Amino acid sequence: MRLLITGGCGFIGSAVVRHVLKSTQHQVLNYDKMTYAASELALETGGHHPRHKLVVADITDAAAVRQAFDEFQPEAVMHLAAESHVDRSIDGPADFVSTNVVGTFTLLAAARNYVAGLSAEGRAKFRFHHISTDEVFGALETGEPAFHEATAYDPRSPYSATKAASDHLVRAWYHTYGLPVIVSNTTNNYGPWQFPEKLIPLMIISAIEEKPLPVYGDGTNIRDWLFVEDHAKALVKLVETAQPGKTYCIGARQPRNNLDVVKAICRILDRKLPSPDGARERLIVFVRDRPGHDFRYEIDPSNAESYLNWTAEHDFEAGLEATIDWYLAHQDWWQAIRAKKYHGERLGTAA
């Protein structure tokens, strides 16, 4: 299969590219704008793989998108390119509207035009897989059932609102134009190569450096955590097998509140890298909550598990330890990011 993967140098996208190149015979056109959170290093050996080609371009650039379709002739699109950090969306929502809404529209328009020119067999095989988030569903309170494929949308931040808009556009192109689309929504991902503005890498790095560990509010906000490599495997299975028009919620059944996540990071690092000043929980500080901070996200992945014969391989503790090991072994990567002064104001916030 010839896969056009947008955002393939981002956190989740690079995990998908690595999995495709290691575990399948698919060819990849990696279409990435290479914004602050993208890294060619995250492709690892895939960056020089004969079945991989990187095109540096913006998904809002209609001419560049059309050229990618015309030259590569994809059999499927995996659309992961997105602005994804909630704090950034609060401070600067325009970039989120441009990338997440206009960018998705641009891809859909190009895909529709491209599919119209395919043979009947090519049209039947083609898939447009749009990868989204559980944040489009809003927030859960304690005791409420987890999000599932039929949960009503109720986005609360500029980030989640733009992702909800992109989801609606994708489904509209299916119902109106017959474009063969798949939508998947996932929980919070974590693992290697995650840009250090998100909760887990930010806390790991700050704890390594024995800096304050800022936690929003009282730390009781709950997230459902999925190891990124487990997610990548599910996404590739979906694009290979799913039927058009379907939605799949992908999760690992691993909910934890933010404070417990930070404490777990401290405990693992205390064991692996003891501090002469004592346990790292002393570094935890509670900071003013961010506007519109959703209380709880959790996904019921039963449908995806059944359809794909897939479950997440990593429980949270094992995945977190593997992630910490990775950040300990790749300090040159995140230290270089830390050194970029124009990101400094973003890297000091809690999540």
Q: What Cα–Cα distance (Å) separates residue 334 from each residue in 208, 259, 274?
A: 12, 23, 21
- Annotation says 58 is catalytic: no
| Conformational region of residue 30, where left means phi above 0, alpha means psi within -120 to 50, and beta covers everything else | beta
Q: What Cα–Cα distance (Å) separates residue 9 from each residue in 85, 181, 188, 202, 300?
A: 16, 23, 18, 19, 28
Integer-rounded Cα Rg, in Å, for the chain is 20
Q: Say which of 31, 159, 174, 327 is annotated catalytic.
A: 159
**What is the full DSSP assignment across 322-338?**
HHHHHHHHTHHHHHHHH
Helix (H, G, I), strand (E, B) or coil at 183: strand
Q: Kindly give, in sequence order, each residue whose CB lies less than 8 Å from that of residue 309, ignoring residues fewer than 6 positions away.
A: none
Give 154's strand partners: none
- Annotation says 167 is catalytic: no
Q: In terms of Cα–Cα distance, which of 255, 280, 258, 256 is closest to 267?
A: 280
Helix (H, G, I), strand (E, B) or coil at 37: coil
Q: Say which of 58, 135, 294, 305 is annotated catalytic.
A: 135
- Let me know: does 29 contact 72? Beta carbons within 8 Å: yes
Q: Say which of 134, 224, 230, 294 is annotated catalytic.
A: 134
- Annotation says 36 is catalytic: no
Residue 229 and residue 278: Cα distance in Å, rounded?
Answer: 33
Helix (H, G, I), strand (E, B) or coil at 157: coil
CA within 13 Å, CB half, 69? 24
Tell me which residues are annotated as active site. Answer: 134-135, 159
